[in-house]
């Protein structure tokens, strides 16, 4: 969702657009890293010192509530945020915890012969961790 679309969504639900909220929306635009609240705070507060940790957490809760971002619970018990609100799945690296989007069409879930809406989470090493494993195998193998 573009920052302008998210702003329109917030305004349509009666919420004001503050400088910190606008900065958070810009941070999420095109971001595929699935950041934590701490990641968002670190990025936004660098340019907007008035953005307190409480402001960032409250804004993330609001953005989740209005459907501008998705909150993802991970095995690490830390919530990550995904600005891609379209139906899709995730691959999670079991080594470093990195998340990557998988298009919904790539994994079809059927129940009683019908495709259903579901979120599938696949554990797969990310490229960086896979490279480390392969390098170790070449070196010591």
The full set of domain ranges for the chain reads 3-82, 88-140
How far is it, in rounded angstroms, from Cα 99 to Cα 47?
26
Classified by CATH at the fold level, domain 88-140 comes out as Dna Ligase; domain 1 (3.30.1490)
Asked whether the beta carbons of 72 and 90 are under 8 A apart, the reply is: yes
Q: Per-residue pLDDT tens, the chain, 141 aa: give them.
A: 889 999 999 999 999 999 999 999 999 999 999 999 999 999 999 989 989 999 999 999 999 999 999 999 876 678 999 999 988 889 988 888 888 998 888 777 777 777 666 677 888 898 999 998 888 888 886
How far is it, in rounded angstroms, from Cα 110 to Cα 29?
32
Classified by CATH at the fold level, domain 3-82 comes out as Arc Repressor Mutant, subunit A (1.10.10)
pTM of the model: 0.80
């Amino acid at each position: 969702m573009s920052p302008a679309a998210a702003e329109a969504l917030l305004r349509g639900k009666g919420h004001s657009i503050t400088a910190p909220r606008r900065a958070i929306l810009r941070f999420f635009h095109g971001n595929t890293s699935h950041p934590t609240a701490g990641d968002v705070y670190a990025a936004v507060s660098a340019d907007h010192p008035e953005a307190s940790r409480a402001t960032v957490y409250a804004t993330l809760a609001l953005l989740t509530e209005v459907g501008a971002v998705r909150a993802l619970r991970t095995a690490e018990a830390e919530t990550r945020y995904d600005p891609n609100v379209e139906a899709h799945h995730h691959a999670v690296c079991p080594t470093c915890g990195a998340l990557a989007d998988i298009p919904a069409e790539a994994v079809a879930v059927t129940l009683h012969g019908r495709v259903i809406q579901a979120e599938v989470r696949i554990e797969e090493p990310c490229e960086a961790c896979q490279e480390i494993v392969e390098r170790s195998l070449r070196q010591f193998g």
